[in-house]
Structure 1
Amino acid sequence: APPQDVIAHAARLLGMDPPPDVPFEDADLSPMARSFYAECKRISNARTKAALSWRPQYPTYREGLAAILAGEG
């Protein structure tokens, strides 16, 4: 999921407004952070799951964040 979606969902769980969106070109980022976010790519965990017969404890970030908030994560 895009980072802004995860942050917005976490804010909702906490009963807060999400932080305002900042255009990438206006963000106060270090050169390393700017490079990371400019080149950040999504990946699949399918090969890891198949090779290790592994399943994440929480299948989605939504379930994981809810568990953290409930003190289960």
Structure 2
Amino acid sequence: MVHYRSQIYQIITEFNGQPIDTDKYLVDNVKQKDDGGWLVNYRDKRTAEIVGTFTTEGENKIVKKDADGNVIKEKTYEE
């Protein structure tokens, strides 16, 4: 699971253009979705409230959402 988690965090870094700022945010563990995809929440370091999510949608799309579930950014990728 550690290798898988590292791969997902690398995908997020490439998608986002930079790593998640761990000085400001806590990053949850990778959660497997029923459709075979994954989901990672990131939280405000002071309040621990979810401020955003990185997830997969469909077979080959990664999506960044805000705390309300609104799409901020999305990208189709090839494995």
Tell me if TM exceeds 0.5. Answer: no
Larger relative strand fraction: 2
Higher normalized contact order (CA 8 Å, seq sep 6+, divided by chain length): 1
Q: Which has the larger radius of gyration?
A: 1
- TM-score where L is the length of structure 2: 0.27
- TM-score where L is the length of structure 1: 0.29
